[in-house]
A and B are shown apart, each in its own frame.
Chain A
Amino acid sequence: MDSTCSNRILSEDYADFIVESDQIPESLKSLSDFCYEVVNNVNAVAYVPIAKLPPNLIQQYTYSIYPNCYGLLDLGSLEDSGITKIQGIPALNLTGKDVLIGIIDTGIDYTHEAFKNADGTTRIVSIWDQTINNTTSKPAGFLYGTEYTKDQINLALTNTDPFSVVPSKDTNGHGTSLAGIAAGNRNEAKNFSGVATDSGIVVVKLKQAKQNLRDFFFIPSDVDCYQENDIMFGLKYLLSIATKLKKPISIAIGLGTSQGAHDARHALSSYLNSIADQKGTGVTVAAGNEGNRGLHYSGIVDTTIGYDTVELKVGPNNKGFSMELWGNSPNLFSIDVLSPTGEYISRIPARLKETREINFIFESTKLFIDYEIVESQTGDELILIRFQNPTEGIWRFRVYSSINFEPRFNIWLPIHNFLGTDTFFTKPDPNTTLTGPANTSIPIITTAYDHSTQNLYINASRGYTRANIINPTFAAPGVNMIVPTLNNTYSTQNGTSISAGFTAGVVALFLEWGQRQTTPVIFETSEIKNYLIRGAKRDSSVQYPNKEWGYGILDVFNAFNSLRG
């Protein structure tokens, strides 16, 4: 598209919307400053001047055009408990050679020894840093950011100040850890080893979400949050590198969101599904760390009572958040609201066609409520409730249904990173807490467990998806894991993105194995997934699949056995 689009991608004066490439609304197109860029054969991203946005966007264009916001799926570092040992990969003589590992995250500390060859050169194939702009080296076919090649990184590594040559930095550590567990070099002294220790590594460092989107969803300004469309372009970049080098690629996604219908219908989910379906690409997605946070409620409207009562405890000093109620069609859901100080709003009828703004008189809270009776992607009903400065205490919602065909509904609060502590449902449901895009059907979805105790990670999100797709696929190591982190050090971390990184490494080994056969086999994700499911370790006293463990515990050796057999 036109070069000025580059500026708009980066400008805070422009909002990003995900649209279907062949149905960009005329009223957006007709704006003089409008531009768009195509992601894949379905979606494009439209960049629209915020000042000229038409009113009632949700009613006009549906909620689905808003990019979801994704957060990092890990806790911070823990004290090194010293109980971990190198997670042994059985001697298969596979090291991920001639396979790529793809990471879309906070970037990578390329100076870390975990990513260097024995001769001191880098194992990184390239880095697309979306945050460094105004350089002349955008990746071919992309309109923003800067691409750093292997040669440039090698040059930097010989410099006393490498960042003066390649200024791309991971300031968080999450991406470094994810890449490390998937592909980092073995370090006996530190008791660490990655999985695919000979794979090339391709890295996308995501830019932070724009302020307008943070404002819309009330996401705190101090948390890392990434836009769906930037992740989609990241995927596109990884594929372009894999195609260019003619190498299979194993992609690990360690990001998640609680927005969306918790089925496979968002733009990123659809894209991941189609990518995972291609030969020579493996996609692994972290299940999320939301199982135990109290941020999901599910209910059925009792038809004799006429409603279901939902209580939400809001903690102190909460600046705001958004909450989504998804109701199964053809029921028609509506809500009433009672604030902690006793201000009550009677049931708001389902015919509402505008964003209803409710100003509470005795408190500074504002509530914005949108109904989308037939949501454009799922056909189900969405009620979007956004809180601004919610008063601390119990907020009560009654959920009504005027038609009663098993009137089941789910409500999700944002992931805990976006919400702060002390805000939760008083009667939460730990199931169906997989974060997007872990609700997709084709990629491998990993939950995390402690390989020394065999216990599930306490905060792991639980399945299944709202559409009852059996996710997570299985559990992989993700508790008390030693991983590379910033400044050439190692730390111990927990979380499902660790397990996704680990599994992505295993997927790389499969891709390598396929290529090495006399009649080479190019796997796609679902094939590898099925081998891993077959080989998974299962406790004979437990029924599988289940919502906590999926099909069991990842057992690499057994999976390769089943492959040979």
Chain B
Amino acid sequence: MVWNMENREFIVILSDIHIGTASSTVCYRKEFHEKYLNLVFDDIISSANQIRELVLLGDIFEFWSYPPNEIPPTLDDIIASNPNILGPNGKLSKALTALKGRIIFIPGNHDINITETDLKKIKNSDGYSIKYHKGPYTPTYDPSILFTHGNEFTLLNSTYHKSPLAPLPIGYFVSRAIAYKLQKELKETPGHTVASKKGHDITDLTKYLFAIPDIFKNNLSTKNLVNSLVDSISGITGMPLNEPIWLNQSTSTTLDYVKFIYQDLLYEYRAKLKGLKISNEIINSLALIADEGNLYLPWLAKQYSHQTNPFTIIMGHTHIPIMNLGSHSIHYSNTGCMCPSIPDFPERPITYGIYSISNHFVNIMQVNDHSTDPITLYTRSSGQLPTDNDILNFIDSYQSEKDISLDNTQAVTTQLEPKYTFGWSVYDASWDYYKTMQDGVLTKAKELNIDVLTFDQKSNSVEMITGSIDLINKDINALIISPYNPEGVPIIVANAKKKGIPVVVIDGGTGGADVLAFIVSDSFAGGVLAGEYAIKLIKEHDIKSKNVAIIKAEKTATYALRRGQGFKSVMQEYGYKVVAEISADGRQEPAYEIVKKILVSYKDDLAVIFCENGLMTLGAAGAIEEAGEKGKIMLIGFDADPPVIDAIKEGLVQGTIAQQPFKMGELGVEVARSGLLGLPISYDDWYNKEILMEVYLIDENSKSNINLVKL
């Protein structure tokens, strides 16, 4: 038979290196650890012809241990930070060449996000790429081994699929919260990193989660378990429950949301282990031990294997090396690189495993300053796997010691939402536009069973600030504000922050404040729509001129200025020339004067004038009428205040782009609620937290074209 002709005797196993970026909360430091990792790869490269495969057994990369305010790196970032290991001429690529592509990657928890295509980013000039394997791996050339990182057996770090963040384990947020604490501590010792701390271990959860047993003291449902767990993490690390945790450039979440999405944690864990034919009581108890201690991991692995023949299970994850634990029929090893901090070296060396295919035996190697040797410091190299009785006894003693138990209730499917009260601070409720917006706020709040305290700024900056701060002091859960003066918003937001109240701004602007969301009309699309409509008018009115003019808002009106940009892009696309693009500061009188001058210069040779707001539209209308060009030169505006609508009816204005204040008010309430519940918020621009609201056209017949426009 030709199926077992490989004579490469060894499988090398490397795990838990945790290479990340240079962020201070990452334990792996290039300047210190890299030389040792180089030695490992040198060994692999020089013995390549004896190596059947290099198994990268998870947590090779570090994507978790970053403070919540840092956007976690991508693999590209990590490669760029570590070119000597991961770059095109790095050691990993060299090993890939030496091994002719015989490297396989199995994700752990800290690099659970790595995909097959990601691995192609480890460039190799000979065209080899690292193979990818998700889940437990048994090589085709040796069916007696099982490789798995090990996180799947733990409560906190097993994949969790009932969430929009799937498969991210809840342990991710524990890591982010720990990084929050570490970041604070490190601020006191500038220049230091976590690797300067003796005894630091990124998986040493017990240090941070010493309170876990207390959490179990009452007969807990899975939801309460998660709530208590997250509260405990927040308490121990000092990270507020509403602190934004950036997941990527566009998404952030909070520990509050973590409570919400992981509410079925225990249930899912049970479901996962159900296939192993372990009783519910034992599963509960295993969950209870959580990531504390590693005794039960090999025991679970044994349940998993169902093997009768000689069988070897190799894991990482625990950072504690173990060699060949078990009887003649089943062995458990853990390559457990200890990811040592600098002061812990060399007592806790970098380690890796070498498995001999013919002997079914694992050697753990440790890296010294100049060479790698079989490990001597940790000699837990033989003995028995724990028996069922061992596990039961352990659980018994643990439970009686801590006096705890868990109930067997099923999954929680509904979340009881707290009763919220929102503050609503409105620009001026006597204006139609803001009255409509207020109706939107109140309607949606009623629908969602949210109470609203309203304050009217009455077009006054001082009122706006004092009134909004009053609302903040009335125990509201969130503030929604449509500001009279955006410059005052930062003061209001600073006050809200002190009380942990999120702020949603609708229209106007944020004054640069860090708000939960800023809801504003889609001005650019409105300008585009105005342009499309202008083309239609030009055709219908049979206008020959190829010139158009844009009357612009004041330089500080960031959003209004986008209207002209959208209009200009479309007109130029259709071959029109923008002959004038002049600011009238958003005011009626200057607009009148400017348009008058334009009409003197161009007379009839002008097809369309577009104004970026309602007041300027009225100014322009006056000038056009005076020049006797009413209905000959098309005028399109923005905003649908009653005077503009009247001007359309009189034929002075041929159309305007209208906003949807009611919908903006509704959306404000929805977004504030999502923020409180920690539900994801989709921004149209995550940098400015902008959420855009559609606009629509009111045409020359005063008809509103809400969804579709016939052009």
Give A contacts to B, CB under 8 Å.
Answer: 20, 22-23, 25-26, 41-42, 246, 263-265, 270, 273-274, 277-280, 305-307, 309, 330, 332, 334, 336, 338, 341-351, 353, 358, 360-362, 373-374, 377, 398, 400, 402-403, 441, 467, 469, 515, 519-522, 526, 530
In the complex, A161 Cα to B76 Cα: how many Å? 63
A-B contact count (CB 8 A): 147
CB distance from A44 to the nearest CB of B (A): 12
B682 and chain A: residue at smallest CB distance: A351
Q: Flag if A346 contacts B5 (CB, 8 Å).
A: no
The answer to the question of B629 belonging to the interface, with a C-beta cut-off of 8 Å to chain A, is: no
With A279-B141, A309-B573 known as contacts, the answer to whether A349 contacts B708 (CB < 8 A) is no
Q: Flag if B708 contacts A332 (CB, 8 Å).
A: no
A24 and chain B: residue at smallest CB distance: B161
B152 and chain A: residue at smallest CB distance: A22
The answer to the question of B184 belonging to the interface, with a C-beta cut-off of 8 Å to chain A, is: no
In the complex, A358 Cα to B711 Cα: how many Å? 16
Q: Flag if A403 contacts B685 (CB, 8 Å).
A: yes
Q: Flag if A342 contacts B711 (CB, 8 Å).
A: yes
Q: Flag if A350 contacts B272 (CB, 8 Å).
A: no
CB distance from A279 to the nearest CB of B (A): 6
The answer to the question of B686 belonging to the interface, with a C-beta cut-off of 8 Å to chain A, is: yes
Cβ–Cβ < 8 Å partners of A347 in chain B: 522, 524-525, 528, 694
Partner of B693, one of A263, A349, A441, A526: A349
In the complex, A403 Cα to B5 Cα: how many Å? 55
In the complex, A341 Cα to B536 Cα: how many Å? 12
CB distance from A541 to the nearest CB of B (A): 23
Q: Flag if A330 contacts B249 (CB, 8 Å).
A: yes
CB distance from A45 to the nearest CB of B (A): 17
The answer to the question of B305 belonging to the interface, with a C-beta cut-off of 8 Å to chain A, is: no
With A362-B710, A520-B2 known as contacts, the answer to whether A349 contacts B127 (CB < 8 A) is no
Cβ–Cβ < 8 Å partners of A515 in chain B: 2
CB distance from A478 to the nearest CB of B (A): 24
Q: Flag if B684 contacts A402 (CB, 8 Å).
A: yes
Give B contacts to A, CB under 8 Å.
Answer: 1-3, 5, 101, 115-117, 120, 127-129, 131-136, 140-141, 159, 161-162, 166-167, 248-251, 272, 411, 522, 524-526, 528-529, 532, 536, 565-566, 569, 572-573, 682-687, 690-696, 707-711
Q: Flag if B162 contacts A41 (CB, 8 Å).
A: no
Q: Flag if A23 contacts B682 (CB, 8 Å).
A: no
Q: Flag if A278 contacts B140 (CB, 8 Å).
A: yes
In the complex, A344 Cα to B711 Cα: how many Å? 7
Q: Flag if A349 contacts B140 (CB, 8 Å).
A: no
CB distance from B235 to the nearest CB of A (A): 31
Q: Flag if B2 contacts A263 (CB, 8 Å).
A: no
CB distance from B121 to the nearest CB of A (A): 10
Cβ–Cβ < 8 Å partners of B166 in chain A: 23
- The 5 tightest CB contacts between A and B, nearest first, are A23-B161, A347-B525, A520-B2, A342-B711, A351-B682
Q: Flag if A306 contacts B565 (CB, 8 Å).
A: yes
Q: Flag if B117 contacts A467 (CB, 8 Å).
A: yes
With A280-B3, A346-B528 known as contacts, the answer to whether A526 contacts B101 (CB < 8 A) is yes
In the complex, A360 Cα to B707 Cα: how many Å? 10
Q: Flag if A26 contacts B3 (CB, 8 Å).
A: no
Partner of B692, one of A279, A305, A351: A351
| CB<8 Å pairs between A and B, sample of 20 | A20-B161, A22-B159, A22-B272, A23-B159, A42-B134, A264-B116, A265-B117, A279-B141, A306-B566, A343-B708, A344-B710, A346-B526, A346-B694, A346-B695, A349-B692, A361-B708, A374-B251, A377-B115, A519-B5, A522-B5
CB distance from A422 to the nearest CB of B (A): 24
With A265-B117, A346-B529 known as contacts, the answer to whether A360 contacts B159 (CB < 8 A) is no
Q: Flag if A441 contacts B120 (CB, 8 Å).
A: yes
Q: A346-B528, A521-B5 are in contact. List 13 more A-B contacts (CB 8 A).
A: A41-B135, A265-B115, A279-B3, A332-B684, A341-B710, A342-B710, A345-B709, A346-B695, A349-B522, A351-B691, A351-B692, A441-B117, A441-B129
In the complex, A330 Cα to B526 Cα: how many Å? 24
In the complex, A348 Cα to B3 Cα: how many Å? 58
CB distance from B339 to the nearest CB of A (A): 27
In the complex, A348 Cα to B522 Cα: how many Å? 10
Q: Flag if A344 contacts B709 (CB, 8 Å).
A: yes
Q: Flag if A23 contacts B684 (CB, 8 Å).
A: no
CB distance from A55 to the nearest CB of B (A): 17
Q: Flag if A330 contacts B711 (CB, 8 Å).
A: no
Q: Flag if B685 contacts A402 (CB, 8 Å).
A: yes
CB distance from A517 to the nearest CB of B (A): 9
A378 and chain B: residue at smallest CB distance: B117
CB distance from B521 to the nearest CB of A (A): 10
Cβ–Cβ < 8 Å partners of A305 in chain B: 569, 572-573
What secondary structure prevails in chain A residues at the interface with B?
Answer: loop
Q: Flag if A26 contacts B525 (CB, 8 Å).
A: no
Partner of A306, one of B135, B251, B569: B569
Partner of A403, one of B248, B522, B686: B686
CB distance from B437 to the nearest CB of A (A): 18
A263 and chain B: residue at smallest CB distance: B117
A373 and chain B: residue at smallest CB distance: B682
In the complex, A304 Cα to B2 Cα: how many Å? 64
Q: Flag if B141 contacts A343 (CB, 8 Å).
A: no
Cβ–Cβ < 8 Å partners of B136 in chain A: 41
In the complex, A232 Cα to B567 Cα: how many Å? 50
In the complex, A400 Cα to B565 Cα: how many Å? 13
Partner of A400, one of B128, B140, B524, B708: B524
In the complex, A398 Cα to B134 Cα: how many Å? 39
Cβ–Cβ < 8 Å partners of A273 in chain B: 116, 132
Best-surrounded residue of B2, B128, B135, B685 (most CB of chain A within 10 A):
B2
Q: Flag if B524 contacts A306 (CB, 8 Å).
A: yes
B1 and chain A: residue at smallest CB distance: A246
With A332-B250, A349-B522, A349-B694 known as contacts, the answer to whether A270 contacts B162 (CB < 8 A) is no
Cβ–Cβ < 8 Å partners of A20 in chain B: 161
CB distance from B478 to the nearest CB of A (A): 19
Cβ–Cβ < 8 Å partners of B711 in chain A: 338, 342-344
With A264-B116, A306-B565, A403-B686 known as contacts, the answer to whether A346 contacts B710 (CB < 8 A) is no
Q: Flag if A350 contacts B5 (CB, 8 Å).
A: no
In the complex, A349 Cα to B682 Cα: how many Å? 10
With A274-B133, A467-B120, A526-B101 known as contacts, the answer to whether A403 contacts B687 (CB < 8 A) is yes
CB distance from B136 to the nearest CB of A (A): 8
CB distance from A374 to the nearest CB of B (A): 8
Best-surrounded residue of B251, B569, B573 (most CB of chain A within 10 A):
B569
B267 and chain A: residue at smallest CB distance: A26
Best-surrounded residue of A279, A344, A526 (most CB of chain B within 10 A):
A344
Cβ–Cβ < 8 Å partners of B684 in chain A: 332, 334, 349-351, 402
Q: Flag if B569 contacts A332 (CB, 8 Å).
A: no
Q: Flag if B2 contacts A522 (CB, 8 Å).
A: yes
CB distance from B574 to the nearest CB of A (A): 11
Q: Flag if A336 contacts B525 (CB, 8 Å).
A: yes
B5 and chain A: residue at smallest CB distance: A520
In the complex, A264 Cα to B115 Cα: how many Å? 10
Q: Flag if B708 contacts A246 (CB, 8 Å).
A: no
A277 and chain B: residue at smallest CB distance: B131
B264 and chain A: residue at smallest CB distance: A26
Cβ–Cβ < 8 Å partners of B566 in chain A: 306
Q: Flag if B691 contacts A42 (CB, 8 Å).
A: no
Q: Flag if B682 contacts A353 (CB, 8 Å).
A: yes
With A278-B140, A522-B5 known as contacts, the answer to whether A350 contacts B116 (CB < 8 A) is no
Cβ–Cβ < 8 Å partners of A398 in chain B: 528
In the complex, A41 Cα to B137 Cα: how many Å? 9
In the complex, A522 Cα to B709 Cα: how many Å? 65
Q: Flag if B2 contacts A358 (CB, 8 Å).
A: no
CB distance from B305 to the nearest CB of A (A): 15
B533 and chain A: residue at smallest CB distance: A344
In the complex, A515 Cα to B1 Cα: how many Å? 9
Cβ–Cβ < 8 Å partners of A350 in chain B: 682, 684
Cβ–Cβ < 8 Å partners of B565 in chain A: 306
A377 and chain B: residue at smallest CB distance: B115
Cβ–Cβ < 8 Å partners of B686 in chain A: 330, 332, 403
